[in-house]
Amino acid sequence: MSGQNVNTPPSLYPVPEAFAAQAYIGSRQAYDQLCAEAQKDHESYWARLAREFLSWKQPFTKVLDSSNAPFYKWFDDGLINASYNCLDRNVEAGLGDKVAIIFEADDGKVTRYTYKELLEKVSRLANALKAQGVKKGDRVVLYLPMSVEGVVAMQACARIGATHSVVFGGFSAQSLRDRIEDAGAVLVITADEQLRGGKALPLKAIVDEALAMGGCESIRQVIVFQRTGGNIQMQAGRDVWLHDVLAQQSAECPPEFVSAEHPLFLLYTSGSTGKPKGVQHSTGGYLLHAALTTKWTFDLKPDDVFWCTADIGWVTGHTYVAYGPLALGGTQIVFEGVPTYPDASRFWRMIESHQVTIFYTAPTAIRALIKAAETNEAVHPRKFNLTSLRLLGTVGEPINPAAWEWYHREIGGGRCPIVDTFWQTETGGHMITPLPGAHALKPGSCTLPFPGIDAAVVDEAGKEVPWGQGGVLVVRKPWPSMIRTIWGDPERFKKSYYPADFGGQYYLAGDGAIRDAETGYFTITGRIDDVLNVSGHRMGTMEIESALVSHPLVAEAAVVGRPDDLTGEAICAFVVLKRPRPTGDEAKQLANELRNHVAQEIGPIAKPKDIRFGDNLPKTRSGKIMRRLLRVIAKGEDVTQDTSTLENPAILDQLAQSN
Ligand code: PRX
């Protein structure tokens, strides 16, 4: 793994001494020791941590079961409950009156919830689910705003052994329907509306629309959280109010202890082909990594105020809002709104008012706030007192060094380390990340693997490439929080993550990477498949293409990404209509219509930024679309590659000029 001992080259930001002195993992040596322990005996290392970090109803006797690889099992015969580990055991340890969540609403109203209060809310909802006949292993879909109720709903499912599947509140009725059907969910928990940036946006109405589309006959009930009091339809016999069901239930609900391998949740994410896949996570292994990474990567201490800005609709909101901080008995912020409302100083104002000590957000947000601060002094972070901060983090996409430097200087006051955490929905938690008391930092690099994660950069044959040479990122050994399967499609799981061309042995992340020639630090070079990353949101080009061709006017569509200063990547669609190619105002109008159509099919986050119309698409003689050339055109660059294999080279000029 880390192997060599490196001195800090001058281009690196050394670990601040004051930080190292108080950190759990306070030196490079301490990190190397943990790596060596894992290297020596991978299973014993993970077993030790699973015993230290989690409370088991029944201890496991077997650590890793590889008999049906790559369907690995961890701690399989151990019995555990995630909600017990996040709530009851903190209350039992005397933290009942400690604030677990500081909720700040879109309009600025603040509400605090102690561990005891959270446990009561979770128990009431868990009882309500049971009263509805929801049983261990049943799937429950959550379509909720960023809210305490969202966290409570996840924990309530975990408490009774139901498997939750959170669908981000920005997805369309069609996307919601597809996920409900694929998961075969029995119940939906939603809200009347969500409030974001001063605007009320529908949720329940979208659930109604999704359920009316058909294919969701497995749904027996819809529980509705009244957030805004907006006007909605309640269907008798199916829909009930959350406050009504809670009022009827007892505040005590014994947790259902399940096997460590029991599916805690499904979370749908995009792949390079086909429809979104339901990534299935375990209970024990997942929770271990959630707790462990929260402690070591974020150095979370009992008196910290932790704030991860991710929505619970994404994996970051699962691991670092709903589970990790609670498993450690931490105090965290849950924020309903957006960083630009009422103005672009919202984050800085909240850090100051809540005395946040650890702040974790996405590069896209940082870039947008830099831009706002440059043009409006009133929202510049220097107007706020951010001295409570001691650690910063980023996630979801590569952070460009200029944004890193700004974050470090303007938000961290030059004193806070930044953890650039690389991971994925499938990995459950951090994979490659600095440990802030151990690693000197290099802007744009996620540095080194988390202890026990055997990450490597390999060539097509699965052989490790020398430092300084780019390749494909793999994880050579299984780890506890890894994806278990794709819900209902084990073959796709094997093909996507353990393809035969890498020997079928290694987990294929789907990203390219390069290790620094001097330090061995990893830098992620971006996806190697047809997955785009727009504002840290993951989207498959095929999904967007399917959405486009489902429009009656569209004959063919190809979607590629192009670099974008603000969103990292932008979606660029090339479209051939069933009628003559439109130009001028007609093209603009049709492009808008298609954008709205994609929003209907998938959600507003999938709207293409550019839509270009052509008479055709560049294809090889065998009919394959040349996406490589489309990427060049999307960037606005001249095509310099050999185009002699193209069926119709003239189309390139037309597409280049069609912007
Ligand atoms: O391409 C990598 C990028 O985001 C992908 C995973 O997306 P998702 O499953 O939605 O999870 C995002 C939150 C964990 C990865 O394959 N990515 C994630 N973190 C980083 C990153 N790219 C560069 N640096 C990161 N820190």
Number of H helices, E strands in the chain: 21, 30
Q: Return d(Cα 334, Cα 250) in angstroms, integer.
A: 26
Q: For residues 514-530, give the mean pLDDT.
A: 95
Ligand 1: atom nearest CA of 446 is 26
Res. 644 pLDDT band, cuts 50 70 90 = confident
* Peptide bond connecting 70 to the previous residue in cis, omega within 30 degrees of 0: yes
Check pocket membership of 395 for ligand 1, CB cut-off 6 A: yes
* Closest C-alpha residue for ligand 1 atom 14: 424
What residues form DSSP beta bridges with 165?
141, 266
Q: Rounded to whole angstroms, how far apart are CA atoms 38 and 188?
A: 41
Given pLDDT bands bounded at 50, 70 and 90, which one contains residue 4?
Answer: very low
Residue of the nearest CA to atom 22 in ligand 1?
397
397 pocket-lining for ligand 1 (C-beta < 6 Å): yes
At a CB cut-off of 8 Å and minimum separation 6, what does 68 contact? none
The atom number, within ligand 1, closest to the CA of 399 reads 24
Q: How many CB atoms lie within 10 A of CB 644?
A: 6
Tens-place pLDDT, residues 397-408: 999 999 999 999
pLDDT of 3 higher than 50:
no
Ramachandran angles phi, psi of 614, nearest 5°: -135, 165
- Separation CA 121–CA 161 (nearest Å): 17
Q: Is residue 597 within 8 Å of residue 167, measured between CB atoms?
A: no
More confident residue, 638 or 608: 608
Q: How far is the CA of 269 from the centre of ligand 1 (A)?
A: 12
Q: State if residue 221 touches ligand 1 by the CB under 6 angstroms criterion.
A: no
Cα 395 to ligand 1 centre (Å): 7
Ligand 1 touching residue 398 (CB < 6 A): yes
The mean per-residue pLDDT over the stretch 443-451 comes to 98
Which residue minimizes the CA distance to atom 24 of ligand 1? Answer: 398
| Cα atoms in the 13 Å half-sphere on the side-chain side of 568 | 24
Mean pLDDT of the chain: 96
Strand segments (E) across 123-198: 139-143, 163-166, 187-191, 193-196
* Residue whose C-alpha is closest to residue 216's, from 192, 194, 244, 235: 235
Residues β-bridged to residue 512: 472, 526
Ligand 1 centroid distance, CA of 332 (Å): 23
What does the pLDDT look like over 166-176, one tens digit per residue?
A: 999 999 999 99
| 527 backbone φψ class: left, alpha, beta (φ>0; ψ -120 to 50) | beta
> Other C-beta atoms within 10 Å of 74: how many?
27
At 229, list the tokens. 């009091």
DSSP 427: G
- Testing ligand 1's pocket by substitution, the residue of 297, 397, 419, 441 carrying the most ligand atoms inside 8 A of its CB is 397
**Cis bond upstream, residue 381 (ω within 30):** no
Strands 305-308, 507-515: pairing kind: unpaired
Instruction: Please give the helix or strand (H or E) that residue 281 lies within, else none.
Output: strand 277-281
pLDDT tens across 288-328, in order? 999 999 999 999 999 999 999 999 999 999 999 999 999 99
Mean pLDDT of the region 521-530: 94
Please tell me the residue having the least CA distance from ligand 1 atom 3: 397
Pairing of strands 139-143, 163-166: parallel
Q: For a substitution probing ligand 1, which of 423, 482, 522, 567 has the most ligand atoms within 8 Å of its CB?
A: 423
Query: Which residue among 267, 531, 538, 539 is best mutated to probe the pocket of ligand 1, counting the most ligand atoms within 8 A of its Cβ?
Result: 538
The share of the chain scoring above pLDDT 70, in percent, equals: 98
> Does position 652 have pLDDT exceeding 50, yes or no?
yes
pLDDT of residue 546: 95
Local structure of 386: helix, strand or coil = coil
Give, using CA atoms, the residue closest to atom 6 of ligand 1.
424
pLDDT digits (tens, 9 = 90+) for 383-439: 999 999 999 999 999 999 999 999 999 999 999 999 999 999 999 999 999 999 999
Q: How many angstroms is it from 422 CA to the middle of ligand 1?
A: 6
Q: Does the beta carbon of 424 lie inside 6 Å of ligand 1?
A: yes
Residue 596's Cβ-side half-sphere holds a number of Cα atoms within 13 Å equal to 5
Could you say which DSSP state residue 216 is in?
Answer: -
Q: Smallest Cα–Cα separation from 607: which of 566, 645, 559?
A: 559
Q: Are strands 331-335 and 358-361 parallel, antiparallel or unpaired?
A: unpaired
Residue 555 CA to ligand 1 centre (angstroms): 33
Tell how far the Cα of 561 is from the centroid of ligand 1, in angstroms. 16
Predicted confidence (pLDDT) per residue in 214-244, tens digit: 999 999 999 999 999 999 999 999 999 999 9
pLDDT of 504 higher than 90: no
Sequence letter at residue 38: A
**pLDDT tens profile 136-161:** 999 999 999 999 999 999 999 999 99
Kindly tell me the burial class for residue 506, based on how many C-beta atoms sit within 10 Å of its own C-beta (0-12, 13-18, 19 or more): buried
Range list of β-strands (E), 423-552: 455-458, 471-475, 485-486, 507-515, 522-527, 531-534, 537-540
Pocket test for ligand 1, best of 511, 527, 534, 605 (most atoms within 8 A of CB): 511
With a 6 A CB cut-off, is 534 part of the ligand 1 pocket?
no
Looking at residue 7, what is its pLDDT? Answer: 53
Tokens matching residue 623? 């009919």
Q: Which among 404, 424, 521 is the best mutation to test ligand 1's pocket, defined by most ligand atoms within 8 Å of the CB?
A: 424
205's CB contacts (< 8 A; 6+ apart) are: 232, 233
User: Ligand 1 in contact with 524 (CB < 6 A)?
Assistant: yes
Residue among 220, 239, 229 nearest 194 (CA): 229
Q: What separation in angstroms does the CA of 550 have from each of 486, 537, 600, 642?
A: 26, 22, 11, 33
